[in-house]
Structure 1
Amino acid sequence: MYNYIPDGDYVANDYSEVDQEKYEAFMERIEAGEKIEADDWMPDDYRQALIKLISMHGISEIMGALPEKEWVPKAPTLKRKLGIMAKVQDEMGHGQLLLRVAEDLMKPYGKTRENLMEDLLSGDLKFHNVFHMPTKTWADAGMVGWMVDGAAIISQTNMLDASYGPYQRALQRICAEEVFHAQHGEAIIMALAEGNEHQREILQESLNRWWPALLMFFGPPSADTTGSSKQNIMMKYRIRKSNNEELRQAFLDKYLPRAFSLGLTVPDDTIHYDEEKGQWVYQQPDWKEFKNIIKNNGPRSKERLRLREIAYEKNRWVRQALIPQEMSS
């Protein structure tokens, strides 16, 4: 009945007359602003869209903790060390919460959270492009909190009224905590921007390196005009409100003025605000490189996946101990 493909195309809806009535009733609920729950009937492509979105989001929260985890022992003060440790802990918690939400959606396929982790390690489940990048300096730890988490907040608040109730409720908690993460990153950035010449240099160098990845964060603009693209399907079902380019423009609106006010520049001589169009004009990143990165060919992809694999294997005994005896026999 179902065809779960972690990184494949959405399953097309092909309903009987009875299911067509269910589909029309489902769309009426969506358009009325009602929330869909895990046990409710839902179209195949709605379920597929949610699984792919939520599993990628959850895995990205877990993988996203790894770049900052590298700086826990190297943070410059005890206060900074405690701050980044708390942030890493929060991100792992977000990941576990989201994978639990995804697991409920996967029940018709007989899949569990363990299958999602196996999909990650096999390369079938992707994680966000920014978390394949290196964190070379303390400024990078600040950049992840300030701009990467800032981009995440823009993306996630766009779904705070998502039609799927369990995800919408999870986002309420996650977004509230992400605000603190962004403030944590901003505090690091401000300290560096107000510091000595070397600190300002590593801050600028960090922004230069992260800029292409930040532009890629929201995904490529859709060339699809038929309404069948992944982002259009999610907008149709009121999972999200805005498309990729609208989210990227919101990010530029918020963060470019802040960066410029700190005396920072971005590595793009073409960037400017078009008053007539009411949007930023910028140089498109290399979208072929984006696709290569999310296929686990980024600068730190292999190392971070290996670290996740080691942790997964070392803690297998904990998962086995939690399985009721009658299920394990």
Structure 2
Amino acid sequence: MHRINNGEKIEADDWMPDEYRITLIKLISMHGISEIMGALPEKEWVPKAPSLKRKLGIMAKVQDEMGHGQLLLRVAEDLMKPYGKTREDIMQDLFTGRLKFHNVFHMEAPTWGDAGLIGWLVDGAAIISQTNMLDASYGPYARALKRICAEEVFHAQHGESIIMALAEGTKEQREMVQGAINRWWDSLLMFFGPADASTTGTSKQDITIKYRIRTKTNEQLRQDFFSKYIPRVLSLGLTIPDETMHFDNNQGKWLYKQPDWERFKEIVRNNGPKSKERLELRQITYVENQWVRDALANSNH
């Protein structure tokens, strides 16, 4: 704690208490798997993108997200070595339901507006969350995040480009964007997690702040997201699907209707609209590509 409080970085081969190591493993494994699972809603739009330029853009984004996942799983794998676990265990934990992936990636993306919104607002939320950990006390994670955040900025610009084109288009195209916002609003609120431990019975955010893996609470990050994106949404003539939402000058924060946190727990337990379908696709792909892992293992020998 003295080293962390002095701003030093903890490295993979340093001694660390189990609480710190396990917290990092859970956080980074979930982050890495979420990058991989997060590519799947947009992957569905690669063959359906409305132009060659858009197709190339979304293909590049899917490729980036998979790369982020691989980078993070390497970081997690180093942390797991003292417990005799490997990346294979991370994948098996995903397939058995022990390892969760982010709530937003259990959701449907039925229109091109949804594909744009994922890049604009979901990746926008991810940038806010991840930049909060750029100075994380664990050096390998902090360094990985520097690369990931740089690429996520391009992803958000890609999504914003799609949304701007639709918002400036026909009545049907504008309605497509509004429909996507309406569908994704609760998921965006849930993105940062519950405000306090009373909602889930855990205090993960307190542990990550204690060890200076991040500096802000879930609610502070959510408020940052509101301040950045609500003016942008409204400037396009779109509406927020929450009539109660407003900025309270006295309290200095946004007031809003809470999402259904019980539903949030159900979603992350793999009971979301597309949970089983996306997990099945990931599992089939993992089995079908076993030959690649075997070839790589043999080449190392």
Looking at structure 2, the residues matched to 233 and 325 of structure 1 have their Cα atoms a distance apart, in angstroms, of: 41
Aligned to 1:60: 34
> Cα distance, 1:320 vs. partner?
1.5
Match of 2:210 among 214, 232, 236: 236
Match of 2:272 among 289, 298, 301: 298
Looking at structure 2, the residues matched to 49 and 280 of structure 1 have their Cα atoms a distance apart, in angstroms, of: 30
Aligned to 1:21: none
Query: What aligned pairs does 1:3-42 form with structure 2 within 5 A after superposition?
Result: 27-42=1-16
The CA deviation string for residues 182-223 of structure 1, in whole angstroms up to 9 with x for no partner, is: 000000000010000000011101100000000000000114
Aligned to 1:122: 96
Aligned length: 298
Looking at structure 1, the residues matched to 137 and 95 of structure 2 have their Cα atoms a distance apart, in angstroms, of: 30
The CA deviation string for residues 163-199 of structure 1, in whole angstroms up to 9 with x for no partner, is: 0000000000000000000000000000010000000
Match of 2:239 among 265, 282, 285: 265
The SS at the match of 1:323 is helix
Aligned to 2:292: 318
Aligned to 1:51: 25
Match of 1:211 among 171, 185, 200: 185
Aligned to 2:176: 202
Looking at structure 2, the residues matched to 312 and 50 of structure 1 have their Cα atoms a distance apart, in angstroms, of: 25
CA RMSD in angstroms comes to 1.1
Looking at structure 2, the residues matched to 32 and 88 of structure 1 have their Cα atoms a distance apart, in angstroms, of: 38
Shift in CA distance, 247/325, structure 1 to aligned 2, threshold 3 Å: closer
The CA deviation string for residues 96-119 of structure 1, in whole angstroms up to 9 with x for no partner, is: 000000000000111111110110
Q: TM-score, normalised by structure 1?
A: 0.89
Aligned to 2:85: 111
The SS at the match of 1:280 is strand
1:137 aligns with 2:102: no
Q: Share of identical aligned residues, percent?
A: 74
Match of 1:162 among 136, 149, 156: 136
Runs ≥4 in structure 1, deviation > 6 angstroms? Answer: none
Looking at structure 2, the residues matched to 308 and 259 of structure 1 have their Cα atoms a distance apart, in angstroms, of: 33
The CA deviation string for residues 255-292 of structure 1, in whole angstroms up to 9 with x for no partner, is: 00000000111111110100011100000000000000
Query: Counterpart amino acid of 1:148?
Result: V
Looking at structure 2, the residues matched to 174 and 98 of structure 1 have their Cα atoms a distance apart, in angstroms, of: 9
The SS at the match of 2:94 is helix
> Cα distance, 1:324 vs. partner?
3.9
Looking at structure 2, the residues matched to 316 and 281 of structure 1 have their Cα atoms a distance apart, in angstroms, of: 49
Looking at structure 1, the residues matched to 109 and 274 of structure 2 have their Cα atoms a distance apart, in angstroms, of: 9
Looking at structure 2, the residues matched to 289 and 36 of structure 1 have their Cα atoms a distance apart, in angstroms, of: 37
Looking at structure 1, the residues matched to 153 and 94 of structure 2 have their Cα atoms a distance apart, in angstroms, of: 27
Query: What aligned pairs does 1:283-294 form with structure 2 within 5 A after superposition?
Result: 283-294=257-268
Query: Structure 1 unaligned runs (5+)?
Result: 1-26
Aligned to 1:175: 149
